[in-house]
Chain A
Amino acid sequence: MVTLVDSPKTTNDRRFDEYILPEFEVLYRTAWSLTRSDADAQDLVQDTLLRAYRSIDRFDGRYPRAWLLTIMRNANINRVRKKKPDLLNDPDLTFERSLEFADHNDPEALVVSPVLDAAIEDAFDQLSADFREVVELVDLDGLAYQEAANVLGIPVGTVMSRLHRARGRIREHLGRTGLDQEMRTR
């Protein structure tokens, strides 16, 4: 009797297709939020894919996105260390990069309530780097709280607290500008 058993390589390739392939877009979005550059984001995703492929035989198959985002976080720490060791964790650098972030080329944003979008953008830009980071991962990249916690290496409660306080400040800003009253009479 002949038993057909997949070689380890075939198994790994199948796991790669099953667990990693569907996450490419999320990985790229997250990498872009972390690096603010297409080229760096691409490098970071490739580094993440390499690390993931090499350890896929040890992955238990549960929560592939969380697993990949943790790998990306570690890859990003190494990337930043290699690139500019003296600027590691420099909050000013993160802040400067965030100023380049606004997407002014989105036609939908110009049509849908430009006044509201402008006010929210103002408030967003006034947030601290820690607050902006979680807002980007959850609201822009579409990550769940736990996934954002994995990327940042912080407890999920901290993600929730920062995110809610960040949006709370944006909400307060809308209150000061009177836009919230207009929204109430929609």
Chain B
Amino acid sequence: MRRLLDRLRGTMSCGDVLKVIQSYIDGEINATTARRVAAHLEQCDPCADEEYIYGQIKASLARRRHKVDMDVLDQLMSFGERLKTDPNLGD
């Protein structure tokens, strides 16, 4: 009954929000659903906590990102330029 009412009002239940919370954080849901999730999070502290925790997990994992050595990128850029003058490079 609650789910039906939620659907009629265009709102989402906590269960529905938690199913898509990770996709929401990743920016992988459509704009309409994202707006409904955001509206729910405004009203619901427990779900807002879950969003915060999953957001922190994602941020922490991103801090493990391998540092790209700019010299290596420069070398790859040079390789790309050489490739344009000599497409048979590497044969």
Q: Which residues of A contact B (CB under 8 A)?
A: 13, 16, 20-21, 24-25, 28-29, 32-33, 38, 41-42, 45-47, 49-50, 53-54, 101-103, 105-106, 108-109, 112-113, 116-117, 120-121, 124, 135, 138-142, 144-145, 160, 163-164, 167, 170-171, 174, 180, 183-184, 186
Contacts and interface: CB of A to CB of B under 8 A. Distances in A.
Q: Is the interface of A mostly helix, strand, loop or mixed?
A: helix
Interface string B77-91: 101100110010110
Contacts of B64: 101-103, 106, 109, 121, 124, 140
Interface residues of B, number: 34
B1 interface: no
Given A144-B28, A183-B56, A184-B49, A38 B72 contact: yes
B2 interface: no
Main secondary structure of the interface of B (DSSP, over half): helix
Given A16-B80, A25-B68, A46-B79, A113 B60 contact: yes
